[in-house]
Structure formats: structure tokens, C-alpha cells
Structure 1
Amino acid sequence: MDLTDRRVIVLGGTSGIGLATALAAARRGALVTVASSRRDTVEAAVKTLPPGSRGVVCDARDEKDVQRLFAETGPFDHLVFTAGDSLLLDRIEAITSSDARGAFEIRFWGAWLAAKYAKEHLRPGGSIILSSGIAAGRPPSGGSVVAPVCAAVEALTRALAVELAPIRVNAVAAGMVDTDLWADVPAAARAAIFAEARRTLPARTTGEPADIAEAHLHLMTARFTTGTVLTIDGGATLT
């Protein structure tokens, strides 16, 4: 998975899976740009990356911001889209329609915008990697928003793989990974969920951001893989 001198943009790359991906790509020789909506997190992330790495403030929900990101970055090789907000998990009667619609803003429409404006700048052999989750095929209780968001991203992945060919477009569907996306779940409930997962998953462990980062790097270099959703879940979809 050599990425020497390849240019990689991680949109949502200042924490969790995105930052782990940026670090892993940089260790393999890539020239990395991380982008996120908050200047403080962008500056903090760049300090953890090797010299030559860049940070850009960009709101994935803002079309002009996304267009500017790629216009200013210029030609590059791989886009990883990991931008997202906290998981909206609750019973349907407790979720407002505006919150449900808002859940699509970054995870789906942000990915759609990123692909729209990235494609003109991707060099031959380039790829786009989007982010889904196992809720698309294995919805949890309270998943009336999370599951369709993930399913929409997976459908987008397949559609773009056809439309944007020969640019390769894939997605990673992550299982139980301990990141800030779980921040809105009360600490005790979050601990119980992860403890139960570690007890019952076939892998007998939950994921770390670095596990998903390795999947992203694999898809960057897998030249014969496109339109695929790569599931990294410790076996959750088997149980």
C-alpha cells in the first residue's frame, strides 16, 4: 500500500476515523490534506501530521465551500469522505422531521457535493471513498434515520462508480468503532453497548479508528475494486 507522493484529501479528517486515515496515508508516503468545518480542530490535526501536510477549513454542507476546497487544492489522487455528526439514534416518535432531514446533510449530501467537485481534479488512477455503516443492512432499534442514511450512501457509491468511471468509487461500512460520533449517547449507555459488543461479536472486540483507516488505504490501492462497500465490523452482520 505504497502511497509515495500521492495526494490524499480527507474531508472530515481532523478526528476519529478521518484523522487515523490521514496519519496512516502519511506514514505510507502520501501528501495529506485534512479538511473540517472548525478551524481549531483543523489546526490541532495538522500538528499531529508530518511536515508538508495541509489543513483547510471547509463545511461539507456548504456547496461553495466544497467547490473552493477542490479548486484551491488542485490535482490529487484520492478523496476519503469521513465527515459526519453524532449518530441520531432514537425512537421515531422522538425524532423531529427537521432533525431527520438534517442527518442527511453531511453524511449524504456532503458526500454528493464532494464527489461532484472532486471528480474534475482527480488524477488518472484516482479514487473516492465514502463512509457508510452496517445499519444499512442491520438496522438497530432507533435506527429509522441512521439506516436510510447509510443505505443512501451505499446506493450513491454504486451509482458514482458507474457514472464517474474510470474513477474508482467505493465505501467503507464500519461497525462498532469508538469515536466522537457516539458523543450524544450517555456515557453509561455507551459503555454498556460497547461491552455487550465485545462479548458477543465473533471478533470479541470492537473497532478502533486505525482499523477503518487500513480499509481506506486498501481501497486507495485496489485498482480492480470499484462500486464496492467494504464491511469492517468484527463479524456483526453475521450475528
Structure 2
Amino acid sequence: MSGQDQTKYANKLQDANVLILGGTSGIGLCVAEASLEFGALVSVASSNPERVHQAVAKLQKAYPSKKDNIRGYQCDLGNQDTMEKNTVSILEKVVQDTGKKLDHIVHLSGTGVDPVPLSALGVKDMTDRNSVNLRFFSPLMFGKHAPKYMNPGPSSSITLTSGVLAIRPLHGTGFAGPMTGNAASSLGMTKGLAVDLAPLRVNLVLPGAVDTPLWDALPGGIGAVLKAKAKDTMLTKIIGKPEDVAESYLCCMRDANMTGTEVHTNGGTLLF
């Protein structure tokens, strides 16, 4: 007796409209790839227009049959003066261009660890830094405006990003306080937004060390030092691959029973 297999799980993202902020490289690009493989419409965004162009070209080359499902947008979310305007603008553009409301937003925009020694820290320096704008203020702006552009109910979600530093400060660096405070702010925000935006779901992914270009962007070769140190504290003894970490974001999108939750993917570094 022949028949067609059920697709109870494989089709959860079929035709879903997904916006990935910070989706042009690293984890974000892998989330875009995975979403396309599950049948989603995917829009990637970055503040760098050249990176947007390159990411779209790469995705279209990898998925030639899904070219019409791939879009790219330049969007600067690091400037407090234009953040809210740009947030509304990209939401409007994606909905207009795709002809349908969004189902999922993945917020991966960030600038790395942005080390600031506590001894040199000023209030204005901290509040004006891109890392704080992108990790704290920008998610709040999307929490404020995104529901108007999203399908309602638990089938839709916003997934934010922090990092293992929110749980485990870097000892002996001199900038553990500012970095940990910045990273940890997302934990409370996720829970609060999950309550405010219900039944729309809000979750948080906290990656550990992941092999992405962010390491190379750190000044003075500190990226290589931190990367080697991180590897030594991981039970897996390997730096995380972005295509593996992307699975945590898929889980947040696909599990309609998950909200206000922190998802850890760190190679066991918290157990070391």
C-alpha cells in the first residue's frame, strides 16, 4: 500500500516570512540558509550595503531555485538618532516587498564584544556605543513596532541574541563588568517582551565562542587570544560552527510552545 508521508515537522517554516537582522555573515547567514531550506521567504539586513549585496548573491547562488524568496536590505540600527525611523522603515519595506506580514524576526545585529576597560568607562561612552545600541535599544524598538507588521499568535516569534558572557564574565580582563552588564540586559528584556507582546513569542539565544568574522574585527589581536582561551574552556574542544548554532534559532522559530526562554549553545563552557 503506497501513500504520501506526512510533513508534520518539515513544513513548519514553509512560506513563512522571515527577517534576519545581521543576516549577511556568520550565524545570521546560516540562519538564512537554513530558513530557505525549510521553505521560508528570507530577508537579510545589515548596515553595510556591500555585505547585503554579497550575502544575497551568495544565497541565490546556493539556492538558485529559490531566488525569488531572497531579499536584502541596508539598515543601520546602531545610531540612536535614526534607530526608530530605520526600524519602522525596514519593517514596512519587507512587508510591502513580500506582500505579506512577517512571521519571524531574528535579531543578530551586533559588533562583537566591544571591550571597554572599567577604568576608562564614562556614562556617555557606554550609552553611545554601537554594541549597547544594537544589543539593547534596537531590540526594544523592534518590540515596540514589529507586532504591527507580524502575524499574530504563537506561530510568530522574535528571537534576540546575547552571549555566554551574560552568564560567565571574562576574568582578568578589566572589562568584565561593562561587557557582562551589556550582555545580561537581554535576559531580562526577553522575559519582559515575552509578557508585553504575548501571544507573539520572544526568545533569546546565547551562543558561546563561534567561528565568525567578529573575532577578526577586535583590535590589537585580542580576538585571537580570546578565541584560544574560549576553546580551552569548552567541553567539545572545538569552537562552535555557525551552521550548528543556527539550529538554536530554528528551534525558537519552530517551537510554538517556547517563549521567554533562554537557549544556550556554547560547547559546554558553562560546565567547565
Please classify the TM superposition score into its range, dividing by the shorter chain length: over 0.9
- 1:137 maps onto 2:167 in alignment: yes
Displacement after TM superposition at 1:94 (Å): 3.4
Deviation at 1:96, TM superposition (A): 4.5
Give SS of 1:145's match: helix
Give the TM-score normalised by structure 1.
0.93
> Which residue of 183, 207, 210 maps to 1:177?
210
1:227 aligns with 2:254: no
210-219 or 141-150, larger mean C-alpha shift: 141-150
> Residues 139 and 196 from structure 1, CA distance in 2 versus in 1: closer, same or farther, beyond 3 angstroms?
closer
Cα distance in structure 2, aligned partners of 1:69 and 1:21 = 19
From 115, 120, 126, give the equivalent of 1:94. 120
Q: Which residue of 2 aligns with 1:72?
A: 93
Question: Hey, what's the Cα distance between the residues in 2 that align with 1:237 and 1:209?
Answer: 19
Unmatched 5+ residue regions in structure 2?
1-9, 61-66, 96-100
CA distance in 1, matches of 2:102, 2:111: 26
Residue 146 of structure 2 corresponds to which residue in structure 1? 118
Q: Secondary structure at the match of 2:176?
A: coil
Describe how 1:1-239 pairs up with structure 2 within 5 A: 2=11, 3-50=13-60, 51-52=67-68, 53-61=70-78, 62-74=83-95, 75-101=101-127, 102=129, 103-124=131-152, 125-140=155-170, 141=173, 142-182=175-215, 183-187=217-221, 189-239=222-272
1:198 shift after superposition: 2.7
Deviations 1:55-105 (A, max 9, x none): 111112421111011122220110000001132224311344433221311
Pair 96,209 (structure 1): closer, same or farther in 2 beyond 3 Å: farther
Deviation at 1:192, TM superposition (A): 3.7
SS of equivalent to 1:194: helix
Q: Deviations over 1:187-211 (max 9, x none)?
A: 3x43343334333311111112112
Q: Number of residues paired by the alignment?
A: 238
Measure the CA separation in 2 of the matches of 1:156 and 1:169: 9
Higher strand share: 1
2:158 touches 2:201 (CA, 8 Å); kept in 1?
yes
Deviation at 1:185, TM superposition (A): 4.2
Alignment RMSD: 1.6
Larger Rg over CA atoms: 2
* CA shift in 2, pair 1:197/1:135, >3 Å: closer
Mapped partners of 1:138, 1:70: distance in 2: 34
Q: Which moved more, 1:47-56 or 1:91-100?
A: 91-100
Give the superposition deviation at 1:27.
Answer: 1.4
